[in-house]
């Protein structure tokens, strides 16, 4: 693994670990609990690897075959999965989640009539289909 790849891998791992380290659990008055943490975001990820969000997304959508592009693709998918999971758990407003996914170039559709959220991840290049 090249030094550049190691640095990127390390920076991404440190970014996700730093977000996870902020997780706190609070007791609610009704007896339940609530967990909060600094969320994973495209902008946070880009800052961690010292690239622009556009450069990160370029690697995700059109990336070549480099190890760095593969690492960035995986990290963007992790941010997208986190966003979807938090939305399904009711921790994120669906409109905010939809906007975050659109900012990452991932298409989504919301049915405003019944309050549901449907996310469609496009794979125009066919990289992730088997």
Return the domain boundaries, the chain.
3-119
pLDDT winner (highest mean) among 73-82, 92-101, 114-123: 73-82
Please tell me whether residue 24 adopts helix, strand or coil conformation: strand
pLDDT tens for 12-34 read 999 999 999 998 888 888 888 77
Sign of the dihedral defined by the CA atoms of residues 27, 28, 31, 34, in that order: negative
Q: Which CATH architecture has domain 3-119?
A: Orthogonal Bundle (1.10)
> Stretch 34-51: mean pLDDT, rounded?
91
> Stretch 107-125: mean pLDDT, rounded?
53
Please tell me whether residue 128 adopts helix, strand or coil conformation: coil
CA gap 88, 31 in Å, rounded? 22
pLDDT tens for 47-86 read 999 999 999 999 888 877 888 999 999 999 999 999 988 8
């Amino acid at each position: 693994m090249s030094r550049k790849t190691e640095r990127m891998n390390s920076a991404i791992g440190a970014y996700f670990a730093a977000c996870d380290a902020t997780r706190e659990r609070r007791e609610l008055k009704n007896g339940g609990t609530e967990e909060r943490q600094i969320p994973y975001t495209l902008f946070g990820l880009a800052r961690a690897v010292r690239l622009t969000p556009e450069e990160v997304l370029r690697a995700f959508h059109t990336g070549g075959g480099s190890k760095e592009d593969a690492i960035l693709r995986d990290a963007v998918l992790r941010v997208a999965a986190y966003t979807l999971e938090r939305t399904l758990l009711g921790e994120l407003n669906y409109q905010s989640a939809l906007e975050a996914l659109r900012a990452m170039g991932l298409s989504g559709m919301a049915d405003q009539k019944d309050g549901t959220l449907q996310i469609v991840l496009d794979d125009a290049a066919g990289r992730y289909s088997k």
